[in-house]
Amino acid sequence: MFSKGTKRKFSDGDEEISAESLVGARVASSYSLQRQSLLDMSLIKLQLCHMLVEPNLCRSVLIANTVRQIQEEMTHDGSWHMVTEAFCNPGQSPSERLVATEVLCRSREQDAEPKLFSVISYEGCREEEVVADETLCSVSVSDTVSDVCLAGRMGQCWEKSELSGVERDEEALEDSSLGSGEDEEIDTEDEASTKSPKTTGQVFGTFEIKNGSPGPDSALEELFSDVDTSYYDLDTMLTGMQSAPKMGPYDLLDSLAPSHSSPTIVSTPKCRSDLNELDHIMEIIVGS
């Protein structure tokens, strides 16, 4: 890095240019930090709106559009490219990143649900342990997680209202309770996430539904329903941890986001083991 006192061999003009580019780099990184923080904030808002009793559809749509916008810009920037290259299935072209959300989530189908428990339990890990190398670990993982979670989360937000659409339609009133499996999943799962601990039967009832074969579009919802069902792990319920702050992919994101972490440089070996654990998370999410 340049410091004021450093004398260089070349002319002053060169130093000025360097200073300018330094300022430019600072501005650029400040912008990308701001953008990242905006992305994080938006994802948290989307998560919260998912937790609210009745999400305001207009607000959710506007926030989701903002997130999309940031994603698109990051894709064009190339910062998205680096992210997905590191952790996603090789062979996917960078231009398909946004569309890749669905693919990523779909590929989860083969994976068994309980694996995601480890993702949640990973949350307990402090960010300093996980985020070692800012440029690679934290930024990439958080972005990928957000990438993965985004479409599904939005789908979830809309699905809530969507479900009521099924109910409200008088003709379909008889069918609404049967509905499609995915709707029912969301319903019970949302219900559970907003209410006090359910009975054991209901908890396991939820699990049963999860094991059903999902339709092509249900993978997104399934991703989240799986994440949420971890709350209803019998232990969690019995120990009253239900009252703990609701966890979701965005909490994981939170703990990993660079804006939240202090830039501590950790020794390489630790970084490597953390990278392995991140790999593990990504495997689960990506389902490779």
Sites of contact with other proteins (CB under 8 A): 34-35, 38, 41, 45, 53-54, 56-59, 61-62, 64-66, 68-70, 151, 154-155, 158-165, 167-170, 176-177, 187, 191, 194-195, 217, 220
Give DSSP secondary structure letters for 102-162.
HHHHHGGGGS-GGGHHHHHHHTTS-HHHH---IIIIIHHHHHHHHHHHHHHHHHHHHHHHH
Contacts of 92 (CB under 8 A, 6+ apart): 84, 100, 103
CB-side exposure of 55: number of CA atoms within 13 Å? 29
Q: Which is nearer to other proteins, 159 or 254 (CB)?
A: 159
Which amino acid is residue 284, in one-letter code?
A: I
Between 12 and 170, CB nearer to other proteins: 170
Closest distance to other proteins from the beta carbon of 158 (Å) = 4
Distance between CA atoms of 76 and 95, rounded to whole angstroms? 9
Q: 68 or 81: whose CB is closer to other proteins?
A: 68
Q: Specify whether the CB–CB gap between 274 and 130 falls below 8 A.
A: yes
Amino acid identity, position 84: T
Q: Look up residue 190 and give its two tokens.
A: 């949302």
Supply the minimum distance, in Å, between the C-beta of residue 72 and other proteins: 11
Q: How far is the CB of 92 from other proteins (least distance, A)?
A: 19
Least spacing, CB of residue 192 vs other proteins, in Å = 10
Is 68 or 246 the residue whose CB approaches other proteins more closely? 68
Collect all residues with Cβ–Cβ distance below 8 Å to 172 and sequence separation of at least 6.
166
Query: For other proteins, which is the closer residue by CB, 16 or 162?
Result: 162
* 3-class DSSP assignment, residue 216: coil
Is 244:208 a contact under the CB 8 Å cutoff?
no
Q: Which is nearer to other proteins, 117 or 165 (CB)?
A: 165
Least gap, CB of 114 to other proteins (angstroms) = 26
CB of 30 to other proteins, least distance (A): 13
C-alpha angle 102-108-112 in degrees, rounded to nearest 5: 160
Q: Which is nearer to other proteins, 132 or 203 (CB)?
A: 203
Report, in Å, the least distance between residue 275 CB and other proteins: 31
